[in-house]
């Protein structure tokens, strides 16, 4: 059983168009990359296509190295005509990733990677939560009642696993959350007892049918390439007993819609200043 993520994405896009129709400011998104591979270029082109369909101005900048990226980010963060900044990851120099995300103006950080925005999640403020984590929440809130449910998150990254756990713990959702990782013991016993399972481990087909109970909601955040095809972290057979998000066309499509919606909202806010 597949969750209809396309409808969720369309709903968010409709809100984006409505927001843009009420502002006189031309919304603009700037996306950066350093030494991008073909997959990154393909994704940035899909961003451009989505932005164009929504009426958002889009600029893609390929920096020659990390130092140039830093300079460009500082300039772009101060540019009042820019309403959203996106930086493709991973970067060639992984040691500089924290420094890079700190250079992005928190109010233009549509990815939600800046430590300021991550820290705000502790206090329940989600205006700039990590965009993939927000996509997970958007899907769950439209697919089930979260209140009181047992939710297991497999993966503890700062952009998916950890923020999703905080967002599910928020009083308005009040899920009972378990975060699992490579050192977790008896993982199957934990996932089998869960109403909601969020998988973000980067391993194709990791979650097997025997790890999920009947009727559970499974959110597949994984993106893997196997024999030239994009697949998720969830075995396809899981959909025979649980509701799952498709890959591709699932969390990723909703994430892109969330990104564009934030650009539109930022443009609307700037219109009122």
What are the sequence ranges of the domains in the chain?
Answer: 24-107, 131-252
| Residue 159 burial by Cβ neighbours in a 10 Å radius (0-12, 13-18, 19+) | buried
The CA distance from 65 to 62, in Å, is 9
pLDDT at 273: 55
The CA distance from 200 to 135, in Å, is 13
The CA distance from 200 to 184, in Å, is 15
Instruction: Output the average pLDDT for the chain.
Output: 94
The CA distance from 96 to 15, in Å, is 35
Buried b / exposed e over 80-100, threshold 16 CB at 10 Å, is: eebbbbbbbeebeeeebeeeb
pLDDT at 227: 85
Residue 170 DSSP one-character state: S
pLDDT at 115: 95
Q: Which portions of the chain are predicted below pLDDT 70?
A: 95, 271-273
Q: One fold for both 24-107 and 131-252?
A: yes
> In CATH, what number does 131-252 get?
3.40.50.720
Q: Considering the entire predicted model, what is its pTM?
A: 0.93
pLDDT at 95: 67
Record: fold of 24-107: Rossmann fold (3.40.50)
The CA distance from 51 to 28, in Å, is 9
């Amino acid at each position: 059983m597949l969750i209809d993520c396309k409808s969720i994405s369309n709903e968010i896009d409709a809100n984006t168009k409505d927001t843009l129709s009420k502002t006189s400011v031309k919304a603009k998104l700037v996306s950066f990359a350093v030494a991008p591979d073909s997959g990154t270029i393909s994704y940035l082109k899909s961003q451009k296509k989505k932005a164009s369909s929504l009426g958002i101005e889009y600029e893609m900048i390929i920096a020659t190295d990390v130092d140039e990226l830093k300079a460009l980010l500082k300039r772009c963060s101060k540019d009042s005509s820019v309403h959203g900044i996106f930086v493709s990851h991973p970067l060639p120099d992984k040691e500089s990733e924290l420094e890079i995300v700190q250079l992005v103006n928190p109010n233009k950080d549509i990815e939600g990677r800046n430590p300021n925005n991550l820290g705000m999640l502790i206090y329940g403020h989600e205006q700039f939560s990590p965009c993939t984590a927000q996509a997970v929440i958007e899907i769950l809130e439209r697919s089930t009642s979260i209140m009181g449910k047992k939710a297991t998150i497999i993966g503890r990254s700062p952009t998916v696993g950890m923020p999703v756990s905080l967002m599910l713990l928020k009083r308005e959702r009040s899920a009972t959350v378990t975060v699992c990782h490579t050192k977790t013991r008896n993982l199957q016993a934990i996932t089998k007892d869960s109403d909601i399972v969020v998988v973000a481990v980067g391993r194709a087909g990791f979650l097997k049918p025997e790890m999920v109970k009947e009727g559970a909601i499974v959110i597949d955040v994984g993106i893997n390439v196997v024999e030239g095809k994009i697949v998720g972290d969830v075995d396809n057979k899981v959909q025979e007993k649980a509701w799952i998000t498709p890959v591709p066309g699932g969390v990723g499509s909703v994430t892109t819609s969330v990104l564009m919606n934030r650009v539109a909202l930022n443009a609307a806010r700037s219109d009122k200043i």
